[in-house]
Chains A and B, each alone.
Chain A
Amino acid sequence: DIQMTQSPSTLSASVGDRVTITCRASQSIGTWLAWYQQKPGKAPQLLIYKASTLETGVPSRFSGSGSGTEFTLTISSLQPDDFATYSCQHYYNYFRTFGQGTKVEIK
């Protein structure tokens, strides 16, 4: 199985900060990577697919990059609504594994 490793596990930041989360795959997955945002008590929401394509309605302050085994999610200017947990997921094959999640907390 392909393992997905995110870093950091927790990130403390302030409104307006630029935030970067990293996701590494245990083998090359091309650009078959998605990012999700999840708030407490809610279902995850798709933010980005194919490593860098924003889902409809997602603010442009979110961006994704990377290919192969290393990927990043960047929030250019953190907003109050962005404090949440972010998870990456590969879809290179049907056995789609997630990263363990990165919680973005208020500093």
Chain B
Amino acid sequence: EVQLLESGGALVQRGGALTLSCAASGFTFSTYAMSWVRQAPGMGLEWVSALTDNGDATYYTDSVKGRFTISRDNSKNTLFLQMSNLRAEDTAIYFCTKAAYCGPTSCPFDSWGQGTLVTVSS
């Protein structure tokens, strides 16, 4: 059974930094692209960042470019999201997701973690 377990969410001050982790199990982690998706309180889903299976390509939504860094450690089956210069609008639940059923360039998400809450205080 696929399991994705996020951790690292916290209350942080504006301008601060935080690193989220996602421990994966139940599948061959090193062969799947992974993403982070967030959901602000009462709002819809927002794709944040993606990473290819071997980590050689990364992608970011415009609002986090230059502030967030996605990475992975395939030897430890773990996905990371380093966040810096945090803003109030980064307040959200952050979900770790696994890609599947890929098209030519991209994939939907067939597995999601339960999420970890990041709150940025102003």
Contacts and interface: CB of A to CB of B under 8 A. Distances in A.
Interface residues of B, number: 24
Interface residues of A, number: 28
A30 B104 CA distance: 11
Contacts of A50: 101, 103
Contacts of A46: 100, 108-110
B106 A96 contact: yes
A3 interface: no
B115 A43 contact: yes
Interface centre among B47, B62, B101, B108 (most CB of A within 10 A): B108
Interface in B43-67: 44-47, 50, 59, 61-62
Given A34-B108, A46-B109, A91-B108, A96 B103 contact: no
Interface of A: 1, 30, 32, 34, 36, 38, 42-46, 49-50, 53, 55, 87, 89, 91-101
Interface of B: 35, 44-47, 50, 59, 61-62, 95, 100-103, 105-110, 112-115
